[in-house]
Structure 1
Amino acid sequence: MTPRPAPRPGPAAPPRRSELGGGTPLRRRTALTGLAGLVGLTAACGTGGTDSGAGAAPGAAGDGTEGYPLALANCETPLRFDAPPERIVLLESSPVTTLDGIGVLDRVVSRAGAFPPGYYDEDLAARIQAIPALSEDVDASGHLLISQETVIAQQPDIVFGLPDGVTREAMADAGAQVVVQEAFCGSGGERASFESLHSSIGVCGRIFDRTAEAEELIAVLRERTAAVSEAAGDLSPRTAAVLYPSVGGGPLYTYGAASMVTAQLDALGIENSFASTAERVVEISAEPLLDADPDLLIVLHQGEGDGSAAVAEMIAEDQLASLRAVQEQAVLPLLFNFAEPASPLVVDGLERIRAWLSEREG
């Protein structure tokens, strides 16, 4: 039986109108969304559910590497790996630190999209810069612009990311499996936790036959997360909202229970003001924000700069100057992948949020 096509993930910026779902109590200029996925230069090595081996079934022993063929399900689509992938194409940025953490970043033959150096240390940034770039073109909403013929020409055996114009079927016909995060598949709804990050790393380790390296990386991330939680104490912000403003006055988005930002705030003992929203991300108007009046605003941004311009534009466009967090300057700009989706960068982001709060509280 032919597998049912999986829902397509959105790119690393706000979704196109065609991706928006039905209305919710959060309204702005148009009917609101509970979308399948926001953000597209952003997916990790995520397949399966909360168990790092979910959906995986090693095939019969053969002449290949032990444990292969390996069968997995990603966004309800069956994947099969006859051997550890050797040629990786990145059509999004968030897998970088997972692949580097398990020691396979040197298998990336090309990349496309934005890979801001602000995410990486000097050594890793230099190694990423040395990877040939297929395209750095994105549209006004941050969606990657690339043809699948360009991707196929790289002869990949695994591709991370699924921007518009690239299909799983075409990649499979060319011998490449496509991996995106389950969070972008529209099958979530559960409150996010760092276990989903650990799960995605574990599956990545299985795909590349780097299970030991994946377990070591998970252990380090667990320790770092626990250290932040233990040091958090009684922070003065008790509530927070995490926002993504569109460039040029477009829709404003906030993140709900299924987003990794909720896991970050939980680790800090801060309540996400919109955790009652089961979706990962929804479009929002000024009214519910003003009603919630959170103690802290975290504003996600992409590209160059420190994010202050995005914050200023959001406040002016959405008339948010009366928010207590704005008046008290409790507004933290944060590069997007430090909060979304699940990757080791989210732990970096957690540490950055805690350090900013500590400095602010003196």
Structure 2
Amino acid sequence: MDHPSSRPVGRIGRRSALAGLLALTAAACSSSSGDPGAGQAGGGADDFPLDLANCEATLHFDAAPQRIVLLESAPVTTLDGLGVLDAVVARAGAFPRGYYDAELTARIEAIPALSEDIDTAGHLQISQEVVIAHSPDIVFGLPNGLTREAMRDAGAEVVVQDVFCAAAGERASFETLSSTIATYGRIFDRHEQADALISTLEERVAAVSDSAADLRTATAAVLYPSLGGGPLYTYGAGSMVTAQLDALGIENVFADTAERVSEIGSEPLLAADPDVLIMLYQGDGDGSEVRDEMVTQDQLSGLQAVTQEAVLPLLFNFAEPASPLVVDGLERIHEWLLEREG
């Protein structure tokens, strides 16, 4: 197990985050396929056929996709911002109401649900035959049991969140969010909508970062507890939670962990003893039951964040992966810290 970081981030992290914000619009116009002219606003039929790098794969589109299957909830707000959510023909996994307003919740619940079977580690359980039966031309998410090859043979490309396949140790930033939105804008031929969404999110992140200058909280750890006494996971440099904490000028005590997410024992957590804990969870509810189960574990009882009740439950997509929900999550963390510090 990697040991917690001893390198201070603090207010330097905020300056790094702001520097990253200045690159958001530039990143939005960059090409994932290496074509220096791709990704500019306007676009149209001339953008196709389109080849895009996605993790270890190259995706090919002859035209903008018309039938979307969602096997994860994270892309919802990006697709909605681009004006293509109505093209979703099926969904699977958890889509908690806590992420969305009433109007968007109603639209999501009107989409046929294929499976809501989530294991204790938060992974969707579904067969690829069920997905293929809905004739998608693009699928978001690659849970166990599905392969890119099978989906492509059935006429669908699979998009995996870039943050899930970044190089180990690579530090996440809000440029990742900008790049993701820009890529979706290219896929669906919605360049202007992508640029507008990026600009709005850029302004919101900058506003939070400026307002966070006087926060006294110095350190934090972000955890995902498995239910029923299973493993405890923490998030490192490659996670968007590190980008959030950098924007707030707070040190992620596990930001030097090479993996984006890794299993953790009590010893390194007790040694780091962060000021606050952010506890990620999935499903409906406010997360209080999951938080209570986690903090009652004997090995965590000595943490100052536990004794001082400085534990924030946060729905998973408010922290991971890169979507507009991460900006919502940043604002929620900031508001919670302001309330705590009075």
Sort the TM-score into its range (normalised by shorter chain).
Answer: 0.7 to 0.9
SS at 1:178's partner residue?
strand
Equivalent-residue separation in structure 2 for 1:335 and 1:163 (angstroms) = 19
- Matched with 2:24 is none
* Alignment partner of 1:141 is 2:136: no
In structure 2, distance between residues paired with 1:347 and 1:156: 29
- Measured in 2, the distance between the counterparts of 1:125 and 1:154 equals 22
Contact preservation (8 Å) 1:286, 1:318: no
Rounded to whole Å, the distance in 2 between the matches of 1:315 and 1:251 is: 14
> Is it true that 1:259 corresponds to 2:239 in the alignment?
yes
CA distance in structure 2 between the aligned counterparts of 1:234 and 1:287, rounded to whole angstroms? 31
Q: Which of these residues, 31, 51, 55, is aligned with residue 53 of structure 1?
A: 31
What's the counterpart of residue 90 of structure 1?
70
Question: 86, 100, 109: which is aligned to 2:89?
Answer: 109
Distance 2:126 2:286 in 1: 27
Give the 5 Å matches for 1:12-27: 24-25=2-3
Query: Which is helix-richer, 1 or 2?
Result: 2
Task: For residue 254 of structure 1, report the CA deviation from its aligned partner.
Answer: 0.8
Equivalent residue number for residue 167 of structure 1? 147
Tell me which stretches of 4 or more aligned residues in structure 1 moved more than 3 Å: 23-26, 49-52, 56-59
| Residues 319 and 326 in structure 2, CA contact (< 8 A), matched pair in contact too | yes
1:14 counterpart residue number = none
Once the 2 structures are TM-superposed, how far is the Cα of residue 91 of structure 1 from its aligned partner? 0.5
Q: Which residue of 1 aligns with 2:17?
A: none
Distance 1:186 1:232, change over 3 A: closer
Provide the rounded CA distance (Å) in 2 between the counterparts of 1:311 and 1:318.
14
1:275 is aligned to 2:255: yes
Q: How big is the shift at 1:56? A: 4.9
Pick closer, same or farther for the CA change 1:207–1:188 going to 2, 3 Å.
farther
1:125 to 83, 105, 127: 105
Provide the rounded CA distance (Å) in 2 between the counterparts of 1:157 and 1:130: 20
Tell me the distance in 2 between the aligned counterparts of 1:338 and 1:175.
Answer: 32
**Is 1:156 the counterpart of 2:136 in the alignment?**
yes
Deviation at 1:140, TM superposition (A): 3.2
Aligned CA distance change for structure 1 residues 328 and 112 (closer, same or farther; 3 Å): same
Secondary structure at the aligned position of 1:283 is classed as strand
Counterpart in 1 of 2:304? 324
SS of 1:287 mapped into structure 2:
helix
The unaligned stretches of length 5 or more in structure 2 are: 5-26, 39-43
CA–CA separation in structure 2 for the residues paired with 1:192 and 1:50 = 16
Query: For the Cα contact (< 8 Å) 1:93–1:114, is it kept in 2?
Result: yes
**TM-score, with structure 2 as normaliser:** 0.88
TM-score by length of 1: 0.83
Cα pair 2:135 2:154 within 8 Å, conserved: yes
Query: In structure 1, how many angstroms separate the alpha carbons of the residues matched to 2:298 and 2:142?
Result: 31
Task: Give me the whole-angstrom Cα distance separating, in 2, the residues matched to 1:285 and 1:51.
Answer: 42
Cα distance, 1:188 vs structure 2: 4.3
Code of the aligned partner of 1:280: R
Total equivalences in the alignment: 314
2:257 is aligned with 1:291: no
Match of 1:349 among 329, 334, 339: 329
- Cα distance in 2 for partners of 1:172, 1:137 equals 24
- The residue identity in structure 1 corresponding to 2:271 is D
The whole-number CA distance in structure 2 between the counterparts of 1:296 and 1:68 is 48
Tell me, yes or no, if structure 1 residue 306 matches structure 2 residue 286: yes
Deviations 1:248-267 (A, max 9, x none): 11111111111110110011
Shift of 1:354: 0.7
Match of 2:221 among 228, 241, 247: 241
| Partner amino acid, structure 2, of 1:174 | A
Counterpart of 1:360 in structure 2 is 340
The CA deviation at 1:319 is 1.9
Alpha-carbon distance in 2 for matches of 1:337, 1:107: 21
Q: CA deviation at 1:50?
A: 9.0
CA RMSD of aligned residues (A): 1.8
Q: CA deviation at 1:282?
A: 1.3
User: 1:358 & 1:314 partners in 2: Cα distance?
Assistant: 24
Equivalent AA in structure 2 for residue 53 of structure 1: S
